[in-house]
């Protein structure tokens, strides 16, 4: 989980969560992406959803 998450929401549904996130979104914003987020970005690209990649400077 990202250190930027204030309120985590655990679903227990595994990788299906990624598909739900992408399919129910108009745009995907990935900040400091990890492996799970990268799979969502890839799925968004396949689904022709807009993707914004951001890097937080520390």
Report the domain count for the chain. Answer: 1
Domain, as residue range, for 52: 1-58
Determine the pLDDT at residue 8: 87
Q: What angle do CA 13, 52, 32 make, to 5 degrees?
A: 65
pTM: 0.70
Give the contacts of 7 (CB within 8 A, at least 6 positions apart): none
- From the DSSP assignment, how many helices (H) and strands (E) are in the chain? 2, 2
Q: Which residues of the chain have pLDDT under 50?
A: none
């Amino acid at each position: 989980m990202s250190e930027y998450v204030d309120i985590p929401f655990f679903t227990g549904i595994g990788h299906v969560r990624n598909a739900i996130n992408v399919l129910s979104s108009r745009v995907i914003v990935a900040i400091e992406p990890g492996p799970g987020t990268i799979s969502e970005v890839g799925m968004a690209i396949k689904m022709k959803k807009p993707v914004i990649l951001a890097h937080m400077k520390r």
